[in-house]
């Protein structure tokens, strides 16, 4: 597809960047409303207990307290993995009969100031009947284990299975079979902005919720459901969001409590969490126990894979059922298997719920798969990159019952990363304490999930054009820091042929913007919303083309182009008029009826999971101190296929952020838990990599054209967070001889692995 290289493929600084760095950008906690009250939550101090009595009398007597509510006061309607997995709703906004983790929300208070609200929340007394608690999937699934939810025998809330091919037969034929066990851990999203919500009551029992979310429409649906009011009585407005990474894609108890008490008191109510709240009680990435068995021919051809995973979901399902399905899907990507079997079980434990996080099941699956590829390469005597080239997916390959790969630059990525990293020479050098390792990835470009029947399209956009040559884009696509507010304007500007500065963006308001959008997750925004925008823009152009024919007395065989703020005859550019003039004449012809069009996009017949897939490879270079066990990543090299990059600067930013998250996941970030209680609840002791920890990074784009993507684009965000852990783990092995099958790779584990510490 032809496009303006000044817009598509350019490096355009984020249009919201100046407001954010100067402090003008407004986040939810910056908002204030007349008469606003402040909320606080009373949380469970026990990991597992029956609630016998909740005494709020002392809290209600505190001066300045305006409302106190418990679960008994609410409609007691459960919510959970929304409509993606029917029957998985297992969570109440405020607990009624039982608490299942330390931090489970029991009651809410609102008062004239935050300090009074906190004091009142602490004054609430709860009488418990303590129950036995379980903290691991092995304990939870053992015979006779106490049940967290009576309706889930064995504490397994959901089982997902995938199977094709003659697994047993092919494993029996394999020349080389290996079976390994891996454990990966929970980490925090660690977004810089803690969650915040403000509910403002309106006439007729309606409410507007301003909230830090990445899924306004999902929050609207869940909030209306749990409040037991019509969906359209709830309006959700998303302000600026300081990061989400999957941690802000569900309705949460404070959003419910703010709205519920706003309707009761008739006053706005604000809840803002602290960093300690987020780390102690917030959603987190799923820990997993993984068994993987793979079979190869002696020349390195993959035959079959048997993949079994137990996900530690914590106390509630949250988005865990979807993660359970996706983990099995990601375990079946990148390479061609003749047979594959997956069994995933989502298991309850008495810990804070795990849920969606960047990669959504892929980092865990890839750590196991890519580690096994590296181990198999060594034992088969084949270079790890060559082993991958033997088995790599290509355009046109089929993932059975999932998708046909419509564009794939995986092999090209492997060759490029080999070149830019100096792989061949460095792997032969074998310097003590220095290693070079590789990990690869493939990721979805938006979840399709064809078992999910929605009453709306997957994405929608509304475009209006004006006689001054400008346009307005209305979309519910959420910018949570990844930059779509800029990228989506680039797409519209390129399609209409006007400058990006001429587009006004109205976004993320369920009362004003099209509801046909499921939010920001699964790297869906550029592909799905971009296609909806192109659809709307084409409808606008169809309204404008007749104007040129009429005013320039042309016949309709001429091809009309929109470029450089003009509408013109492609074969004779002198026959033209300005974009604004064309809109003006169109409006006159329509007797002032606005030139507005809505565009939609829903993938049809594009597979079960995603209409497109990204691919890539990453090499990590490390130095390991043999005395301390400290691992330092000295360089990373990444080659990746994201289709056509709409904004090269934004892609580079996604890569840098992904490496930062991958470093933390691999080497330093971990929750310290004791009997269900999180002990490290600040960034002083939750060790997230800082700017000074970032290694020099080289990256190369492998450009393919994705036929399903806008201007050929596909995802370039989550996939890049996947390969870092297996690449570093392999590099550590090359440097020390210690092969880590469990994350994080701490100095203590390294020293034990090399025999320096017992």
Assess whether 365 and 441 both reside in one domain. Answer: yes
- 185 contacts: CB under 8 Å, gap ≥ 6: 287, 670, 671, 742, 743, 744
Nearest to 670, CA basis, from 190, 277, 186: 186
Beta strands in 250-374 (DSSP E): 269-272, 288-296, 302-314, 339-348
Q: Which residues of the chain have pLDDT under 50?
A: 451-453
Please indicate, yes or no, if residue 287 is contained in any of the structural domains.
no
CA 647 to mean position of chain CA atoms: 20
- 307 contacts: CB under 8 Å, gap ≥ 6: 290, 291, 292, 293, 328, 331, 332, 340, 341, 342, 343, 365, 368
- At 688, is the secondary structure helix, strand, or coil? coil
CA dist., res. 504 & res. 466, Å (int): 11
- 73 contacts: CB under 8 Å, gap ≥ 6: none
Q: Which two tokens stand for residue 616?
A: 């890539």
Please indicate, yes or no, if residue 5 is contained in any of the structural domains.
no
- At 137, is the secondary structure helix, strand, or coil? helix
Query: Cβ distance 280 to 314 under 8 Å?
Result: no
- At 485, is the secondary structure helix, strand, or coil? helix
Assess whether 417 and 516 both reside in one domain. Answer: no
Helix (H) or strand (E) holding 49: strand 49-55
DSSP state of 36: -
Assess whether 638 and 593 both reside in one domain. Answer: no
Last residue of a domain, one of 242, 272, 302: 272
CA dist., res. 335 & res. 233, Å (int): 48
Helix (H) or strand (E) holding 238: strand 234-238
CA dist., res. 162 & res. 443, Å (int): 18
Helix (H) or strand (E) holding 279: helix 275-281
Query: Cβ distance 542 to 465 under 8 Å?
Result: no
Please indicate, yes or no, if residue 74 is contained in any of the structural domains.
yes
pLDDT at 87: 82
**Residue position matching structure tokens 């929340």:** 121
H-type alpha helices, 445-517: 484-496
Please indicate, yes or no, if residue 353 is contained in any of the structural domains.
no
Assess whether 80 and 201 both reside in one domain. Answer: yes
Last residue of a domain, one of 272, 287, 314: 272
Assess whether 651 and 711 both reside in one domain. Answer: yes
The 3 state secondary structure assigned to 334-352 is CECCCEEEEEEEEEECCCC
- Looking at residue 246, which CATH number applies to its domain? 3.90.1170.50
Q: Which two tokens stand for residue 312?
A: 């530690």
Assess whether 435 and 502 both reside in one domain. Answer: no
Assess whether 411 and 506 both reside in one domain. Answer: no
DSSP state of 283: -
Kindly report, residue by residue over 669-721, the tens digit of the pLDDT.
Answer: 999 999 999 999 999 999 999 999 999 999 999 999 999 999 999 999 899 99
Q: Is 217 exposed, middle or buried, given 0-12, 13-18 or 19+ CB atoms closer than 10 A?
A: buried
Between the CA of residue 627 and those of 165, 624, 740, 754, what are the distances in Å?
48, 9, 18, 10
- 286 contacts: CB under 8 Å, gap ≥ 6: 186, 311, 312, 313, 320, 323, 354, 355, 357, 361, 364
Quote the number of domains for the chain. Answer: 3
Between the CA of residue 480 and those of 38, 238, 240, 601, what are the distances in Å?
25, 10, 7, 21
Assess whether 518 and 644 both reside in one domain. Answer: no
- 196 contacts: CB under 8 Å, gap ≥ 6: 27, 28, 29, 211, 212, 270, 271, 272, 273
Nearest to 662, CA basis, from 688, 626, 692, 701: 688
Q: How many Cβ atoms sit within 10 Å of the Cβ of residue 23?
A: 8
Assess whether 431 and 503 both reside in one domain. Answer: no
Question: How do strand 673-674 and strand 677-678 relate by DSSP bridges?
Answer: antiparallel
Please indicate, yes or no, if residue 258 is contained in any of the structural domains.
yes
Nearest to 41, CA basis, from 303, 291, 265, 260: 260
Q: Is 297 exposed, middle or buried, given 0-12, 13-18 or 19+ CB atoms closer than 10 A?
A: middle
**Residue position matching structure tokens 């025998």:** 153
| Residue 45 belongs to domain spanning | 31-131+195-272
Q: Order of strands across the sheet with 503-507?
A: 503-507, 471-475, 459-465, 595-601
CA dist., res. 70 & res. 107, Å (int): 4
Nearest to 650, CA basis, from 719, 716, 708, 705: 716
Please indicate, yes or no, if residue 189 is contained in any of the structural domains.
no
Angle at 259 between CA 254 and CA 264, to 5 degrees: 120
Last residue of a domain, one of 272, 290, 313: 272
- Looking at residue 387, which CATH number applies to its domain? 3.30.365.10
Q: Order of strands across the sheet with 288-296?
A: 156-164, 339-348, 302-314, 288-296, 176-184
The 3 state secondary structure assigned to 363-405 is HHHHHHHHHHHHHHHHHHCCCHHHHHHHHECCCCCEECCCEEC
Please indicate, yes or no, if residue 296 is contained in any of the structural domains.
no
Assess whether 87 and 212 both reside in one domain. Answer: yes
Assess whether 221 and 97 both reside in one domain. Answer: yes
Between the CA of residue 444 and those of 424, 449, 521, what are the distances in Å?
31, 11, 10
Q: Which two tokens stand for residue 398?
A: 């089929």
Q: Which two tokens stand for residue 62?
A: 């505190």
pLDDT at 454: 53
CA 445 to mean position of chain CA atoms: 11
Please indicate, yes or no, if residue 649 is contained in any of the structural domains.
yes
Assess whether 664 and 579 both reside in one domain. Answer: no
CA dist., res. 397 & res. 161, Å (int): 22
Q: Which two tokens stand for residue 207?
A: 């409410």
């Amino acid at each position: 597809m032809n496009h303006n290289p000044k817009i598509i493929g350019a490096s355009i600084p984020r249009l919201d960047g100046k407001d954010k760095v100067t402090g003008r950008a407004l986040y939810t906690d910056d908002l204030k409303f007349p008469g606003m009250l402040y909320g606080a939550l009373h949380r469970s101090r026990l990991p597992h207990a029956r609630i016998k009595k909740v005494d709020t009398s002392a809290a209600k007597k505190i001066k300045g307290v305006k409302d106190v509510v418990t679960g008994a006061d609410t409609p007691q309607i459960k919510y959970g993995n929304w409509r993606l997995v029917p029957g998985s709703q297992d969570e109440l906004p405020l607990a009624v009969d039982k608490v299942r983790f330390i931090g489970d929300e029991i009651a809410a208070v609102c008062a004239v100031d935050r300090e009074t609200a906190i004091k009142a929340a602490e004054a609430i007394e709860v009488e418990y009947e303590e129950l036995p608690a379980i903290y691991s999937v092995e304990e939870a699934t053992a015979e006779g284990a106490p049940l967290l939810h009576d309706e889930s025998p064995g504490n397994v809330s959901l089982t997902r299975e995938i199977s094709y091919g003659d697994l047993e037969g092919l494993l029996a034929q394999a020349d080389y079979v290996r079976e390994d066990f891996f454990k990966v851990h929970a980490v925090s999203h660690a977004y810089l902005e803690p969650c915040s919500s403000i509910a403002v009551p309106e006439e007729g029992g309606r409410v507007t919720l301003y909230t830090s979310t990445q899924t306004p429409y999902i929050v609207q649906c869940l909030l209306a459901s749990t409040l037991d009011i019509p969906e359209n009585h709830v309006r959700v407005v998303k302000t600026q969001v300081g990061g989400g990474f999957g941690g802000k894609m569900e309705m949460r108890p404070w959003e419910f409590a703010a709205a519920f008490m706003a309707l009761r008191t008739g006053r706005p109510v604000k809840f803002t969490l602290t960093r300690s709240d987020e780390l102690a009680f917030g959603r987190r990435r799923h820990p997993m126990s993984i068994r993987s068995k793979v079979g190869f021919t002696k020349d390195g051809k993959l035959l079959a894979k048997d993949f079994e995973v137990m996900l530690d979901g914590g106390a509630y399902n949250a988005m865990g059922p979807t993660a359970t399905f996706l983990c099995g899907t990601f375990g079946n990507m990148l390479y061609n298997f003749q047979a594959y079997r997956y069994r995933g079980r989502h298991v309850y434990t008495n810990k804070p719920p795990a849920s969606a996080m960047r990669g959504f099941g892929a980092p865990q699956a890839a750590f196991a798969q890519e580690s096994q590829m590296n181990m198999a390469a060594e034992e088969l005597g084949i270079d790890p990159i060559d082993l991958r080239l033997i088995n790599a997916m290509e355009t046109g390959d089929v993932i059975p019952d999932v998708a046909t790969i419509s564009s794939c630059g995986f092999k090209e990525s492997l060759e490029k990363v080999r070149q830019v990293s100096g792989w061949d020479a460095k792997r032969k050098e074998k310097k003590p304490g220095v290693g070079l390792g590789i990990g690869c990835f493939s990721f979805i470009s938006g979840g399709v999930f064809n078992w999910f029947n929605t009453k709306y399209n997957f994405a929608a956009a509304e475009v209006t054009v004006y006689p001054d040559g400008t346009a307005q884009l209305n979309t519910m696509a959420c910018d949570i820091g990844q930059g779509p507010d800029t990228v989506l304007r680039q797409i519209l500007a390129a399609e209409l042929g006007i400058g990006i500065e001429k587009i006004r963006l109205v976004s993320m308001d369920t009362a004003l913007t099209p509801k046909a959008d499921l939010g920001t997750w699964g790297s869906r925004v550029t592909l799905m919303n971009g296609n909806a925008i192109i659809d709307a823009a084409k409808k606008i152009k169809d309204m404008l083309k007749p104007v040129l024919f009429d005013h320039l007395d042309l016949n309709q065989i001429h091809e009309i182009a929109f470029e450089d703020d003009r509408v013109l005859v492609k074969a004779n550019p002198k026959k033209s008029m300005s974009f604004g003039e064309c809109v003006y004449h169109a409006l006159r012809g329509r007797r002032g009826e606005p030139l507005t069009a809505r565009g939609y996009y829903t993938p049809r017949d594009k597979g079960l999971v995603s209409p497109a897939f990204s691919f890539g490879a990453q090499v990590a270079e490390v130095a390991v101190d043999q005395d301390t066990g400290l691992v330092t990543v000295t360089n990373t090299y990444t080659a990746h296929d994201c289709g056509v990059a709409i904004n090269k600067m934004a892609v580079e930013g996604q890569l840098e952020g992904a490496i930062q998250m991958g470093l933390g996941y691999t080497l330093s970030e971990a929750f310290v838990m004791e009997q269900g209680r999180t002990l490290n609840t600040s960034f002083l002791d939750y060790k997230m990599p800082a700017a000074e920890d970032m290694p020099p990074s080289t990256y190369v784009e492998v450009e393919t054209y994705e036929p399903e993507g806008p201007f050929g684009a596909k995802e370039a965000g989550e996939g890049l967070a996947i390969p870092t852990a297996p690449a570093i783990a392999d590099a550590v092995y090359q440097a020390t001889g210690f092969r880590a099958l469990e994350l994080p790779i701490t100095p203590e584990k390294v020293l034990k692995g090399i025999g320096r510490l017992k």
